[in-house]
Amino acid sequence: MSIQGLAIDSDVESTNTDTLGGSFIKPTGLYPVMVDMAYLSKSVGGAMALNLHLKQVDGDRSIIRQTLWVTSGDKKGNKNYYVGQDGKKRLLPGMIQGDQIALIATGKHLGVLSTEEKTIKLWDFESSAEKPTKVNAVTEMIGKPLLIAVIKNRSNKVKKDSNGVYVDQPEERFSNELDKIFYPDGFSVTEKAAEAAEPLFHKKWADKYDANFINDQYKDVAGTTDADALPEAAVSTDSLFDED
């Protein structure tokens, strides 16, 4: 099956440049990983996500899980881009990263890859346990090596209030954010495309973000809410694809 809606229009700017500016929570750093699983899902609002399970190839070989939102929701047309104030189309940040991973892992853009139905164990919020779940897996990515740059974040836990609005709680939470993706030899997509003589950008990234760096977004808030905690993003595994 081919992926719907992820082909990149020729007039969309990817903003695919090298600039320094998500299992177990990792310290900020560079990690060699293998794509253990890659599958697509859809939010209740219709946005498409590329879900990644990235296994460390050394150390504790733990899994770094990331969700990249590669399209907007139904209300915004399920596009993999947005239109800026200057009228230009630009790829969504999640689509940029998803496409880079596809290029590094397979040599192809994400929008031309195929999927295959697989059954994997995923966390089910209703039963509070893992259960076998059918997903549309991007099988060409699975088993391929990457070098990823991960940032450790600190933020507030959130809960829904009586009006159904997510509000910050006093409790802190830590998470990992996938910041940059590189070829296993350290080249970025930009460097590889420019036929650079040696990979330099990942070294600059590591110099800027050492293992002690935390992107601290925590805010002091007073009080708590009686509302039950809910997942921040509910997804379904409805079919998102056209038959070939």
pLDDT band with cut points at 50, 70 and 90 for residue 238: very low
Tell me: pLDDT of 230 over 60: no
pLDDT band with cut points at 50, 70 and 90 for residue 221: confident
CA pair distance 55, 158, nearest whole angstrom: 28
The mean pLDDT of the chain is 86
Average pLDDT over residues 164-177: 92
The pLDDT of residue 222 is 78
Give the SS3 label for residue 64.
strand
**How many Cβ atoms from other residues are within 10 Å of residue 91's Cβ?**
22
User: Where exactly are the structural domains of the chain?
Assistant: 2-224
pTM of the model: 0.78
Tell me: pLDDT of 13 over 90: no
The pLDDT of residue 144 is 97
Q: How many residues does the chain have?
A: 244
Structure tokens at 4: 């719907």
Exposed e or buried b for every residue in 63-88, given b needs 16+ CB within 10 A? Answer: ebbbbbbbbbbeeeebbbbeeeeeee
Average pLDDT over residues 119-137: 88
Average pLDDT over residues 71-84: 94
Tell me: pLDDT of 6 over 70: no
Tell me: pLDDT of 173 over 90: yes
CA separation, residue 121 to residues 37, 89, 108, 133, 230 (Å): 11, 37, 28, 6, 20
The pLDDT of residue 100 is 97
Query: Is 76 or 233 the better-scoring residue by pLDDT?
Result: 76
C-alpha angle 52/23/41, rounded to 5°? 30
The pLDDT of residue 208 is 96
The pLDDT of residue 124 is 82
The pLDDT of residue 16 is 53
The answer to whether 1 and 156 have CB atoms below 8 angstroms apart is: no
Report which of 73, 55, 39, 5 is spatially closest to residue 233, judged by C-alpha positions.
73
Tell me: pLDDT of 224 over 80: no
pLDDT band with cut points at 50, 70 and 90 for residue 134: very high
